Amino acid sequence: MVDTFHAYQLTKEDEKVIGTVKQITVNDLPEGEVLIKVHYSSINYKDAMANMDNSAIVKSYPFIPGIDLVGEVVESADDQFESGDPVIATSYGIGVSHDGGFSEYARVSSAWVLALPEGLTMKEAMLYGTAGFTAALSVDRLERNGLTPDQGKVLVTGATGGVGSFAIAMLAHRGYHVTASSGKENAVDFLKSIGASEVIGRDDVYEEKVRALDKQDWSAAVDPVGGQTLASILSKLNYDGAVAVSGLTGGVKVPTSVYPFILRGVSLLGIDSVYTPMSKRKAIWNRMATDLKPSTTILDTILHKEITLDQLSEVLPTLLEGKSLGRIIVRLQ
């Protein structure tokens, strides 16, 4: 282990948040049972928000963002992990209330760590990250609710985002007919290349008015958007359909009624990736390494680019513009 290493650290000066790569030591890291040499992290919307002035994500400074990380154990006070073990750590307080993955070394609670499943490389694990994990949770929940490929089309909203992209790829890999919804006109080729059977616009999902019940279009949906989009989806699901919701970029209020639930028997399935119990977390990551894992070609297509710590200050703000297609990972080693 080195005496000093590099980390992307946020500081606050006169209400302005400044992100720079700094040289720090292990003693600068927070408490935790497991010290990890980080190989990769990834960029999520929450990381971009942490980089903002007046961020609601970070409560105290200096702070290292990055809600995802994968690497190898250096030291562990918990005997379930040994030096050299490849491990993943995402969610919980990482990158929010606890220094995160934009660092060459990280120290975290052993309760937040799981072994890298066979069938996944470290790079693939961070290409997934929290976004892929959330998508996998959504697909798993829908299937446990009874969804099968022969029931009809499955809608994915926010299709070019991390959750949406992986939901499309995973569902297509499982044999589903996937309808992708996006507001980006330049996204059609990308979405079809990762598994979408058809691509529709946002207006095809929500047209400024939510009817109590509408034409039945989809057997199920993966929705990281929420708000009025979610209300419209509920009104357009087939009888006994379900929607797995994991986001709120479209707002927190859902102007719906009881009619979809009591007249069509639809289900609203909530997806939480932050506090998923470890037993379920391990099971989902194992699915991500096996039956939910898209082909290498699809994974390569979803990978937008690979960057280093020095590029974070330039790249993070662009995520808030909503223009990128695919995932960005950070190489630490």
pLDDT confidence band for 328 (50 / 70 / 90): very high
Give the pLDDT score at 1.
65
The secondary structure of the chain in percent helix, strand, coil, rounded to multiples of 5, reads: 30, 25, 40
Q: Determine whether 307 is exposed, middle or buried from the number of CB atoms within 10 Å of its CB (0-12, 13-18, 19+).
A: middle
pLDDT in tens, 227-241: 999 999 999 999 999
Q: How many CB atoms lie within 10 A of CB 85?
A: 17
* pLDDT band at residue 248 using 50, 70 and 90 as cut-offs: confident
118 against 320, higher pLDDT: 118
Give the pLDDT confidence of 177-190 residue by residue, as tens digits.
999 999 888 999 99
Question: Which one, of 226, 232, 228, lies nearest residue 213 by Cα?
Answer: 232
pLDDT mean over 223-229: 95
At residue 291, φ and ψ (nearest 5 deg) are -75, -15
Kindly state the percentage of the chain with pLDDT values over 70.
100
Long-range contacts of 174-181 (CB under 8 A, 24+ apart): 174/139, 174/149, 174/291, 174/292, 175/149, 176/149, 177/149, 177/152, 177/153, 178/153, 178/154, 179/153, 179/154, 179/155, 179/218, 180/156, 181/155, 181/156, 181/157, 181/205
pLDDT in tens, 15-38: 899 999 999 999 999 999 999 999
Burial class (CB in 10 A: 0-12, 13-18, 19+), 83: exposed
pLDDT digits (tens, 9 = 90+) for 122-157: 999 999 999 999 999 999 999 999 999 999 999 999
Q: Does residue 207 or residue 136 have the better pLDDT?
A: 136
Per-residue pLDDT at 318 exceeds 90: no
Arithmetic mean of pLDDT over the chain: 95
d(CA 45, CA 301): 20
pLDDT band at 55 (very low <50, low <70, confident <90, very high): confident
Q: Is the pLDDT of residue 322 over 80?
A: no
Q: pLDDT of 90-117, one tens digit each?
A: 999 999 999 999 999 999 999 999 999 9
- Cα 97 from Cα 60, distance rounded (Å): 8
Q: What is the mean pLDDT of residues 295-305?
A: 96
Summarised one tens digit per residue, pLDDT across range 255-279 is 999 999 999 999 999 999 999 999 9
Is it the case that residue 225 has pLDDT exceeding 70? yes
Strand partners, 18: 11
d(C-alpha 310, C-alpha 330), whole Å: 10
- Is residue 162 over pLDDT 70? yes
Cβ atoms of 63 and 52 within 8 Å: the answer is no
